[in-house]
Amino acid sequence: MNQLIECVPNFSEGVNLAIIKQITDEVESVEGVRLLNVDPGKATNRTVVTFVGEPQQVVQAAFLAIKKAGELIDMSRHKGEHPRMGATDVCPLIPIANITMEETAGYAKQLAKRVGEELAIPVYLYQHAQADKTRDNLSVIRAGEYEGFFKKIKEPKWKPDYGPAEMDTKRGATVIGARDFLIAYNINLNTTSTRRANAIAFDVREAGRVMREGDPVTGKIITDENGKLRSIPGTLKSVKAIGWYIEEYGVAQISMNLTNIEVTPIHVAFDEVCRKAADRGIRVTGSELVGLIPLKAMLDAGKYFLRKQQRSVGVSEKELIKIAIKSMGLDELGPFNPDERIIEYLLKDAAAGKLVSMTLSDFADETASESPAPGGGSISAYMGALGASLATMVANLSSHKKGWDSRWEEFSSRAEQGQKFKDQLLGLVDEDTAAFNKIMEAFGLPKGNEEEKAARDQAIQDATRYAIEIPFKVMQTSFESLTLIKAMVETGNPNSITDAGVAALCARSAVMGAFMNVKINASGYKDGAFVEDILTRGEDIEQKTIAAEAEIIALVNSKIKL
């Protein structure tokens, strides 16, 4: 598996889209780097750019972008609401796949060295790339901002890690580092008061507010015996926050960085700000995501808000995301397109879900065409998905049934289980066709000499094993779904008992159809021990499935009152 890192540079230009385009063109000029998101902000006069790729390519793309930003952006003329110190204000690298934080920090240092030496821009390292923990915090490094850095950079303790110890009038200074995934998130308030917004920010941010005698705003600051400021911690861990007024929107916001969403997820931050704002007579009207967000964070948010309503969380991924967007008002200031804001959706290979993204009629037409795929394997997986979907429907109807309110969590859990079965089987629809195509590709390999023949034979065997394993997964998953289906017949909404019965028919057909594919593909596989084992296991699943389906259908018929 390739190593992947993400880079999220913040450029001090959010108004002139032509300048932003020239910078992002540099990113896209590097082969192997994928530009995921460009998020300009007029009020902050700042653009957050997100791209991913293998480490060396990302370092090259970041270097070119920093160079171009320095050529096009004049910091001596820059004004904006967000703290800043350079044309490229901050440039973090973030580990995404198959790479450690330590390795990512090494690439950040490599980039910082190039920028300092080749571009002669003062560079400071931060977070995991910075060994000196007295200067690893971005807000501490950036204190004083562009205007104050002409003096600050001359102080021995603020000598840059790379580049000249001289503030660049036009390009400013840059901070480069390695960090965990961070969500930049703004919460909108029904006030124009920066002071009141800041008060809420101090209530929630981990650093809290300075402790004072008497009046919390004007009172004398309290220090400890060493003269260090004492503070009252905020309520949210791993959260940085300030309040500001955004003229573009005509409202104040709480601007937050969620530095560890496992500690404080986005939905928890939103709800806590709602509570603290209400305590001060202020209402949250919505929120704004800056940049990208992981899929899990959106799904967790959707489930959180559904649970607050005592509603089933066993709904589709699409519905969970919709609930999250509406609950947090992520679309208040502009459209929120999940395909453009969720990392996994941006990285998704469109070809990987070709079949399941079709309409029903297009899928039927594709199946009926002269092409041999999709065939029985994909159809078996889809029948299994339909069976799991029907069982999930019964669970959701049961969760929301009038008079069954005390049982909503029981059926919500069942529906969530059904969604997992459904999603696994839908994924196998395309995987089965992909498995067939791998076999065809292997047979098409050259066989002009002994070496090519050996490589071709091995490729055919590898593809054949894959084509056995995929329908076997269909068998396993469809069989497992029968436990849920039976439970819905026994305990679910009685008005939907026949739906659960049809689900059992689908599951049985999926198992038996998939086993046919296992057997025909196994006939061409040379590993006899593997074939014997998987056929024995397959026969066991098939027999158990037939018995379970017969039991469920008998139970359904016994409950139908004629």
DSSP 171: T
How far is the C-alpha of 97 from the C-alpha of 107, rounded, in Å?
15
Inter-residue contact 289 to 268 (CB < 8 Å): no
Q: Which residue has the tokens 């973030």?
A: 94
Q: Is 128 a catalytic residue?
A: no
Q: Which two structure tokens, joined as six digits, stand for 26?
A: 């540099």
DSSP 263: T
Hey, CA dihedral for 362, 368, 369, 371, is it positive or negative? positive
Report the interhelical angle of 497-522 vs 528-559 (nearest 10°).
160
For 495-556, give the DSSP string: GGHHHHHHHHHHHHHHHHHHHHHHHHHHTT---HHHHHHHHHHHHHHHHHHHHHHHHHHHHH
Q: Which residues pair with residue 50 across a beta bridge? A: 37
DSSP 212: B
Among residues 271, 300, 430, 432, which one is catalytic? 432
Closest CA to 257 of 201, 323, 195, 320: 201
Inter-residue contact 187 to 287 (CB < 8 Å): yes
Among residues 82, 89, 128, 267, which one is catalytic? 82
Inter-residue contact 313 to 320 (CB < 8 Å): yes
Q: Is 430 a catalytic residue?
A: no
Structural element, H or E, at residue 95: strand 88-97
Is the peptide bond preceding residue 338 cis, with omega within 30 degrees of 0?
Answer: no
Inter-residue contact 418 to 481 (CB < 8 Å): yes
Closest CA to 428 of 380, 490, 371, 368: 380
Catalytic sites, residue numbers? 82, 432
